[in-house]
Structure 1
Amino acid sequence: MASVDSQRRVLSGMRPTGRLYLGHYHGVLQNWVKLQHEYECFFSIVDWHALTTEYDDTGGIRQHVRDMAIDWLAVGVSPSASTMFIQSQVPEHAELHLLLSMICPLSWLERVPTYKELQEKLSHKDLSTYGFLGYPLLQAADILIYRAGLVPVGSDQFAHVEFSREIARRFNHLYGGEDDFEERVQTAISRLGKKTGKLYTSLRRTWQEQGDGEALETARALLKEQQSLTLGDRERLFGYLEGSSRLLLPEPQTLTSHEPKMPGLDGQKMSKSHGNTIVLRDSPAEVEEKISRMPTDPARVHRNDPGDPARCPVWQWHLIYSDEGCRNWVQEGCRSAGIGCLDCKRPLIASIQQELAPIQERALDYEDNPELVRSILAEGSERAREAARETLVEVRQAMGLTYR
């Protein structure tokens, strides 16, 4: 546990609801492939979360999990560079969720923005369930069980990460306190050595009195270098640095990426519910058929009518897939009616087919070797359990749930 560096540990997950599509690839998975070589990454197939809205239709969940794992592997998420696992195969998530539910005010759950939004969006479903109300807390447990300091999410998920921070803060406040905290902190500082202890104290004062973020980061880095510190002393010094008690559960931060947002075939957000997706394993013929049917600038009723690319959903795809030369050709040809809409779409069809070909080739290899996929997920789940168990030992001790 003492070796955990929360600021280098990333947690992210996806609900298994079907095969993945280009929106997942450009919005999430390409970023994951980069992150796995820069951070210690845990990527979870969150099957319990799928049950919060699909509890009445679980027949396909096993296949969805398998398809998701294959898609992850096919795009380059590596089991040797990251930990891939199935949420329900790490029961420690459920235990931490239960323990956190004891301290989570009901009003905190009811005010999560997506709670009412999803209820309205999925009004045809009965979502007046404990599981649906509590899913933000389960999501917090997913993050906190790994003491992950970074969570790559889109702007629509910022509120969930903030909720996780609030839960961690409340837990630390309730259970991180010690009657002799100040005395233990001073003892820990003395163990740093005279020079290092003096530097830590100076950096802490600069941060707390002047709000100097650079001093805070330098002090954090200083503590991370101290290999001889016990876990308890490390937690105390991190907590003392930030003006709190022991940081049993680090507060996670959002990790934003600059990946392009992939629009749907109709220009709206790409979503299975909108029926506007290109699936990663769509055949070349399916890709061609879907792109050919994309709506275009409504002003171009006839072939000779000039158009405006800014009003055309196809142009949004050119911004992602086409180089400057092709974009200039589209702009000029569309505005002058020098090219037809199908002409405009042909370079896109070729680019998407080219992008998907190696992904589909790798996916086919994994489809033909289901035992390998099961083995990867089993090994990843065991690695995740090891990390989760370490956190639960600390949580149980802090809550007084140790009986040896």
Structure 2
Amino acid sequence: MRIVSGMRPTGKLHLGHFIGVLKNWVALQEKYDTFYFVADWHALSTKYDEGLDLNELSIELVKEWIACGIDPKKSILFRQSDIKEHAELYLVLNMITPVSWLERNPTYKDAMNQPEYREKNNAGFLTYPVLQTADIILYDANLVPIGEDQKPHLELAREIVRRFHYMFKKEIFTEPKELLTEIPRLPGLDGRKMSKSFNNAIYLDDDEKSIWAKVRMAKTDPARIKKTDPGHPEVCIIFDYHNAFNKEEVVEIEKECRAGTIGCVECKKRCAAKINELLSPIREKKASLNESMILDIINEGNKKAGNIANEKMEEVNKVIF
């Protein structure tokens, strides 16, 4: 069973990426034929005007994947823009995909209610689900790991596949199915979505000093004034982090917090220590990797992915022309 999944190279990865995506990717590579790609063309759909150094960001992204446990010997790692068949199939699928299908995409409709997206509203953003479809079916992926909110995207991919098969009278693509995964939502240190733009994230390469400085300033229970006041862990950001990264102590910490026998500073220190314990080997592994090593891994992955993509596009073109 083959899995295909990608990530946009738009900046440094943080704990939200680790717990929401990378931890799952590492587990999946032990069970499936996994293809993980740098979605640099997808980055242009919303970031085309930001002057991103996509080459440098792509190298850093793969470096962090490997540091987190993605194994190039178990997974094929490649860069989307290096496999031109992605663009070729994207073009073909755009020719047969009704605009109305794209306009009903919940992500697109939500974005059009936000001024920053409404101003851009470029064709690439409208049609990015078509490129996603090309990314997936080019490799005959059986499964795509997604959260519940992404199900409409995969259903659209299946609709496009069925339309292609109907129009050209031959079934050559695998209809991808969702591999629904529970994607934990780790809040930023201020309670909002974890994001570089909000300056509320802990990054995978943050050192011990930086981690403590950030955790120390995180929001906690606003109703707790004194150390001995009973706490309410359900409204505390730090407790969310304990729940994610400190399973061994989370029950004890909740009990002590509610009883007022542990203060917020001590609670934060224990949280920061656990996060550093998680990130320390990731930092060390990342430091051991250089650009040359990463480019070799990407180039090797490109060759393997490229051979498969080339064969599939030859099949597509025979059916069409």
Shorter-chain TM-score: what band? over 0.9
Contact 1:265–1:276 at 8 Å: present in 2 too?
yes
Partner of 1:304: 228
Equivalent position of 2:180 in the other structure: 256
Who is 1:395 aligned against?
Answer: 316
Instruction: Identify the match of residue 70 of structure 2 among 55, 69, 77.
Output: 77
Q: Secondary structure at the match of 1:123?
A: helix
- Per-residue CA deviation, residues 123-180 of structure 1 (Å, 9 max, x unaligned), is 26732221111111111111111111111112222111111111001111111x3xxx
Look at both structures and tell me which one has the larger radius of gyration over its CA atoms.
1
User: Partner residue of 1:358?
Assistant: 281
Q: Select the residue among 339, 344, 361 that pairs with 2:267.
A: 344
Q: Offset at 1:341?
A: 0.4
Give the one of 32, 44, 54 matched to 2:47.
Answer: 54
Give 2:269's aligned amino acid.
Answer: R
Q: What is the deviation of 1:284?
A: 0.7
CA RMSD in angstroms comes to: 1.6
Q: Which amino acid aligns with 1:385?
A: G
User: Is the Cα–Cα contact under 8 Å of residues 51 and 58 in structure 1 kept in the other structure?
Assistant: no
Question: Which region of structure 1 is more displaced relative to structure 2, 287-296 or 260-269?
Answer: 260-269
**Are 2:34 and 1:41 aligned?**
yes
Query: Structure 1: 5+ residue runs without aligned partners?
Result: 1-7, 178-245
Report the Cα offset of residue 327 of structure 1: 2.6
Letter in 1 for 2:234: A
The structure 1 residue matched to 2:242, chosen from 311, 318, 333, is: 318
- Structure 2 unaligned spans of 5+: none
Question: CA–CA distance in 1 between the matches of 2:206 and 2:295?
Answer: 23
Counterparts of 1:19 and 1:95 in 2: how far apart (Å)? Answer: 30
Output the CA distance in 2 between the equivalents of 1:274 and 1:296: 18
| Partner deviation per Cα, 1:194-229 (whole Å, 9 max, x = no partner) | xxxxxxxxxxxxxxxxxxxxxxxxxxxxxxxxxxxx
Counterpart position of 2:23: 30
Distance 2:109 2:197 in 1: 18
CA distance in 2 between counterparts of 1:122 and 1:27 reads: 27
Deviations 1:66-103 (A, max 9, x none): 11011011111111111101100000000001111111
What TM-score does the superposition give when structure 1 sets the normalisation length? 0.76
Alignment partner, residue 127 of structure 2: 134
Q: Which moved more, 1:333-342 or 1:253-262?
A: 253-262
Does the residue aligned with 2:288 lie in a helix, a strand or coil?
helix
Task: Classify the secondary structure of the residue corresponding to 2:119.
Answer: coil
Q: Secondary structure at the match of 1:303?
A: coil
Share of identical aligned residues, percent? Answer: 42
- 5 Å-filtered alignment, 1:241-252, equals 246-252=170-176
2:109 maps to 1:109: no
Partner of 1:376: 297
The residue type paired with residue 258 of structure 2 is R
- The letter for the 2-side match of 1:141 is A
Q: Is the 8 A contact 2:147 2:183 kept in 1?
A: no
Cα deviation digits, residues 239-295 of structure 1 (max 9, x gap): xxxxxxx43111111112245432322334323333321110001111111111111
Preserved CA contact (<8 Å) 2:102 2:126: yes
Q: In structure 2, what is the Cα distance between the partners aligned to 1:395 and 1:55?
A: 29
Q: Partner letter of residue 39 of structure 1? A: Y
